[in-house]
Structure formats: C-alpha cells, structure tokens
Amino acid sequence: MVYDKENLLNYEIIQNLKELDSEESNFFNELIDIYLTESKKLLDKINKGISKNDKDMVSNNSHTLKGSSSNIGAMELSRLCAEIEKKSREGNLDGVKKILPEMVECYELTIEKIKSLI
C-alpha cells in the first residue's frame, strides 16, 4: 500500500477549521495541539496492541486515529488507519505489521506538515 506524499492534507478542511478562529480563541492551533498530543498516544497504543497481539486494542485505537486525522484534514493518514483497522478487525495482525511502517512514516510527514501551519 502506498500513500500520496504530495497530498497528505486536505487544505479545504484546514481552511474551514481556521475560519473557526475568533478574536477570543485560536481554535485551529488549540485543535492541532490536542491532535498532536492525542495522536501520539493513539499510535503508541496501536504499537502496544500489536506487541501484545491484541487485535481489539489495535482496531479501536486505529479507528480513533482514523477519525481524528480525517477531522483535521490528514486524509492519507486516515486512509492508512482505516486499512489497519480493517485488517485488525479481521484478526490479520501480520497484515497490520506490513502496513504499520508506512503508516508511521505517513504520520511523521503529516505531523511535520501540520506543524508548519501553526
């Protein structure tokens, strides 16, 4: 599975989120700060689930990361998380292990791009 390194982010979604900023609140930056913290925890839990052979832990945390990534416009990461979720729900942790390095690389590139926006 290959992800599109040129189109990691959906800038229309990001622009819509930035439009929620106001004089009182910098909504976008606060949202991204939360995402950065929580996404790292979810990735750690996915790795922990794989090491424990816990397909439910992998599928639940990849599902959550898929949704939160989609919400902030990280569409390629969300797509890879969906694949991991699907494979783990099927009990195919070997398949997850094959996709995981690519998902981690995508995650790191996505985080770099997101940080450049704040």
| Domain residue limits, the chain | 26-115
Q: Write 53-58 long-range contacts (CB < 8 A, 24+).
A: 53/93, 55/88, 55/89, 55/91, 55/93, 56/88, 58/84, 58/85, 58/88, 58/93, 58/96
Q: What is the pLDDT of residue 68?
A: 97
Q: What is the DSSP letter of 5?
A: G
* 89-115 pLDDT tens trace: 999 999 999 999 999 999 999 999 999
Q: Is the pLDDT assigned to residue 1 strictly greater than 80?
A: no
Predicted structure pTM score: 0.92
Q: Is the pLDDT assigned to residue 62 strictly greater than 90?
A: yes
The CATH class for the domain spanning 26-115 reads mainly alpha
* 30-57 pLDDT tens trace: 999 999 999 999 999 999 999 999 999 9
Q: How far apart are CA 73 and CA 46, in angstroms?
A: 21
